[in-house]
Amino acid sequence: MAAEQSGPRNEFRNFMTKTTENNSGDYIEDTEPATLNAMPEEEETEFESPESEPLTFELDWSMSDERLDKVLSRLMPDVSRARIQSWIESGAVLVGGADPGSVRRKVGAGEVITVRPQPAPEDLAYRPRGGIEFEVVYEDDSVIIVNKPAGLVVHPAAGHWDDTLLNGLLFEYPDLARIPRAGIVHRLDRETSGLMVVARTEKAQTDLVRQLQARTVGREYWALVLGVAPEAGFVDRSIGRDPRNPLKFCCRGGQGSKSAKTHCRLVDTTQIAGRTVSWVACRLDTGRTHQIRVHLTSVGLPLLGDPLYRTNASKMPEEAGVVASFPRQALHASRLRFVHPGSGETVEWFVPPPEDMCEVMDELGFGPLDEPVHVFD
């Protein structure tokens, strides 16, 4: 174990000032569930794509020699031109029964245009989709325990309307269509791997959300950070949007910030290419967006590979090999513990990191990787 240093390490150890903000369990961020009242009630349980009746337009002389997309924008003023262009390019628009070939195609008087309106991407958000890979670690009548791979978005949002864990769950478990948010009660960042619990009944979902709000759910993460971490400590700092970058969050107070607390324990530390890398286990009291990434960065311990929060100073030299080339934040949700909503018994699961993170940890000499570290027990 490396000797204690001054600077960020001591700040991490000694930062124990309580915040005075209300921390009443608002779990609408990316790593936590919405409160019970905030969960949307889904009235529809049918998720098949709607069959849109085709629309037919016969052009008069006033539209002669005009571009197809421009003509359709005039005929369908409530539909954006960009969306009309996407319909043309996808084959949903025919001119005289044939593919027009281009949005720029000129049309003439007397030609007949047939349009089959297509759903907007956001309309696909709560529809099932096959081919989405995730591991089911355990399932029963009340819960499903999922090992989410890195790279998979949990919940539909802009840019990922139908390729998320939620869409995959609806495909594999159609009955989840009856449950708000398809039973999802907490989230992980896209590039964070690991354990999540999904409720199979509304009763189970209500129970799990209340446990999360009461902070009795045990969620342990493994993180690889640059720097010498202290043996134990916690960060208790409010988190809000970074005013300089809308994609990032930062530790700050004031309007829009939310209280957040992360407990940390050092598991191991090593040197590679002249840099110190620490294996840290983290437990959350709260679950704000990017919480572990923001908190550890704020005390001088940025996560290895984090493309959003790393700086030039935190980049690994090329001679570190696979450690330097790791393309995402080295963060994995390794353990999950809660009171089973059906049996009332305390249940727990552990999964090791995915292969790419294990390769990095092997290179660093960390291990064993196939069992919990028990630093919080």
Q: Kindly state the tokens that stand for 72.
A: 């359709």
Helices (H), 252-341: 291-298, 322-325
CA gap 158, 41 in Å, rounded: 20
CA gap 25, 217 in Å, rounded: 13
SS3 158: coil
Q: Kindly state the tokens that stand for 127.
A: 């529809």
Q: Kindly state the tokens that stand for 362.
A: 């092997």
Q: Kindly state the tokens that stand for 60.
A: 């008069």
Give CA separation, 162 vs 87, 247, 301, in Å: 18, 21, 35
Which amino acid is it at 166? L
Quickly tell me which residue has 């607390």 as its tokens. Answer: 261
CA gap 377, 375 in Å, rounded: 6
For the chain, the first-to-last Cα distance in angstroms comes to 20
Single out the catalytic residue among 189, 207, 236, 306. 189
CA gap 36, 26 in Å, rounded: 10
CA gap 287, 130 in Å, rounded: 29
Q: Residue 353: which of 326, 376, 375 has the closest Cα?
A: 326
SS3 166: helix
Sheet holding 93-95, edge to edge: 55-58, 112-115, 93-95
Our measurement of the distance from residue 61's CA atom to the centroid of its chain's CA atoms, rounded to an integer in Å, reads 52
CA gap 299, 282 in Å, rounded: 14
CB 265 within 8 A of CB 293: no
Q: Kindly report the CA angle at 56 between 53 and 60, in degrees rounded to 5?
A: 165
Respond yes or no: is residue 189 known to be catalytic: yes
Active centre residues (catalytic): 189
